[in-house]
Amino acid sequence: MPTVITLSSVGTSRALNLDYMSAKYTSFAVTGSSSGTFTYTVEGTLDDLQQVAAVNVSWVAINSSATTANSSINLYQGPLAGIRLNASAISSAALTMKVLQGIGW
């Protein structure tokens, strides 16, 4: 089952802690309600969210979009320690990000 994060106003979602020790890839999809417009960035980090203070975590953009259409599924190959959704504009919309990790070798 994917982990779901929803954001209905401008700002940053909660950070999702990921398993960077055994994950081969992280897939994510961001969808928005069809009636609104939105601009967002999906951000990832290599910092362990369990070990590093929140103010010291370095977030980098791994995907961004400024559109009214729903996005496709995205695949990040390689380990990520955390992921979050950062919305810089939302008008009459709600954004939902679903995240799955592939485990194994």
C-alpha–C-alpha distance, residues 59 and 68, integer Å: 25
Return the bridge partners of 32, or none.
95
pLDDT at 91: 83
85-103 per-position pLDDT tens digit = 999 988 887 889 999 988 7
CB of 36 closer than 8 Å to CB of 91? yes
Domain that holds residue 48: 3-103
In sequence order, what are the residues at sequence separation of 6 or more whose Cβ sits closer than 8 angstroms to the Cβ of residue 75? 25, 26, 27
Residue scoring higher pLDDT (104 or 42):
42
Total of domains in the chain: 1
How close are the terminal C-alpha atoms of the chain, in Å? 20
Residue scoring higher pLDDT (36 or 47):
47
CATH of the domain at 92: 2.60.120.680
